[in-house]
């Protein structure tokens, strides 16, 4: 998919329910960063590892019961080394228990219209057939994570890093090694998450960035880890060969006439600069824009109020729009003024 618009560039069996393995952790990471944004936890907070979290098998960073690690270190353990123990430790820290955290994960799937997903744990270790997702749903949550929290790339691009285990037995080093091997072979790749179990086979959600275009590629149930990466890279390269990027640098400043104001006009312009990824074989230099301002705008007008939209077209096809807003406050006229 093109991340900016969510448009699908290529899909096969995109809604088929499959076992996601550790790409489950994309949702776990989304809720972790959401919790940080809401001020409920900080990167420097210390998390105490429970006996349950330390008991996780599969892919792990070998946390010990009672060990303390910062939220940021545990994020690295999840993103880089796919630590099941780190995922459960963070789930318990944020929600009090893994089961409560999983309830929040499933609530988030509904908010994002991930209609072919249900989670039973926070790390993808379960063998339950009731723990499933689809390629399309994984793309949706991947896009949500990288769009809302681009700081994830600070961690997903780490190739190797050493953490320190501090326990009653002393200190020892542990090397985190990234499971995403495309980071070493393709400069466009910025993440995101791999996963594999005997039932899920080999899965991966890849993010590629090139010439202002960000693409998300999801492969599930590949027969082996080499196929997982080669097929994903094919999709990313296909997307870049199809995509052309357009950005309107014009802020569309103008004075909009208003009624009953202390000023006759209010300064206006676009809220956000419009950008667009063209995937058809069309000339993006032909893109035209047209401002559509509301009629009969009355004071008071507040800075940031929507006054209209700027629409964009290729030939006669509308390809998108951006809001035109007030750049200032204008008070309502009174008897004296």
- In whole angstroms, what is the distance from residue 137 CA to residue 123 CA? 16
- In whole angstroms, what is the distance from residue 233 CA to residue 229 CA? 6
Catalytic residue among 22, 59, 142, 143: 22
Catalytic residue among 50, 82, 232, 268: 82
Measure the CA angle with vertex 221, ends 217 and 222; round to 5°. Answer: 75
Whether omega for the bond prior to residue 300 falls within 30 degrees of 0, making it cis, is yes
Q: Among residues 167, 168, 241, 255, which one has the least CA distance to residue 211?
A: 241
| 181 given a catalytic annotation | no
| 25 given a catalytic annotation | yes
- Residue 161 exposed, middle or buried by CB count within 10 Å (0-12, 13-18, 19+): middle
Give the relative orientation of helices 135-148 and 98-111 as an angle to the nearest 10 degrees.
100
Residues whose CB is less than 8 angstroms from the CB of residue 278 and which lie 6 or more positions away in sequence, other chains included: 243, 244, 245, 246, 284, 314, 319
Write the Ramachandran bin of 56: left for phi over 0, alpha for psi from -120 to 50, otherwise beta. Answer: beta
Residues whose CB is less than 8 angstroms from the CB of residue 206 and which lie 6 or more positions away in sequence, other chains included: 180, 182, 189, 191, 192, 216, 217, 218, 219, 232, 233, 235, 236
| 22 given a catalytic annotation | yes
- Residues tagged active-site: 22, 25, 82
């Amino acid at each position: 998919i093109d991340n900016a618009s969510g448009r699908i560039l290529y899909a096969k069996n995109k809604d088929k329910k499959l076992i996601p393995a550790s790409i489950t952790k994309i949702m776990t990471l989304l809720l972790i960063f959401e919790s940080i944004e809401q001020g409920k936890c900080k990167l420097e907070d210390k998390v105490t590892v429970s006996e349950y979290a330390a008991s996780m098998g599969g892919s792990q960073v070998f946390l010990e019961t009672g060990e303390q690690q910062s939220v940021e270190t545990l994020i690295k353990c999840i993103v880089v080394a796919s630590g099941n123990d780190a995922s459960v430790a963070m789930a318990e820290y944020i929600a009090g228990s893994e089961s409560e955290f999983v309830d929040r994960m499933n609530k988030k799937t509904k908010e994002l219209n991930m209609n072919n997903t249900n989670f039973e744990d926070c790390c993808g270790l379960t063998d339950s057939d009731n723990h499933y997702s689809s390629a399309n749903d994984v793309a949706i949550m991947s896009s949500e994570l990288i769009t809302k929290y681009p700081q994830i790339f600070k961690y997903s691009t780490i190739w190797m890093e050493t953490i320190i285990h501090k326990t009653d037995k002393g200190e020892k080093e542990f090397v985190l090694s990234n499971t995403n091997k495309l980071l070493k072979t393709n400069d466009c790749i910025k993440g995101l998450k791999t996963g594999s179990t005997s039932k899920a086979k080999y899965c991966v959600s890849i993010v590629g960035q090139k010439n202002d275009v960000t693409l998300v590629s999801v492969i599930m149930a590949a027969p082996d880890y080499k196929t997982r990466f080669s097929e994903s890279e094919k999709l990313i390269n296909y997307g870049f060969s199809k995509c052309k990027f357009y950005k309107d640098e014009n802020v569309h400043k103008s004075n909009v006439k208003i009624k009953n104001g202390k000023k006759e006009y209010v300064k206006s312009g676009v809220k956000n600069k419009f950008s667009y990824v063209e995937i058809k074989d069309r000339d993006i230099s032909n893109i035209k824009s047209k401002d559509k301002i509301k009629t009969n705008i009355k004071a008071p007008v507040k800075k940031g109020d929507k006054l209209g939209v700027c629409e964009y077209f290729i030939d006669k096809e509308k390809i998108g729009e951006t809001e035109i807003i007030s750049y200032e406050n204008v008070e309502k006229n009174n008897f004296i003024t």
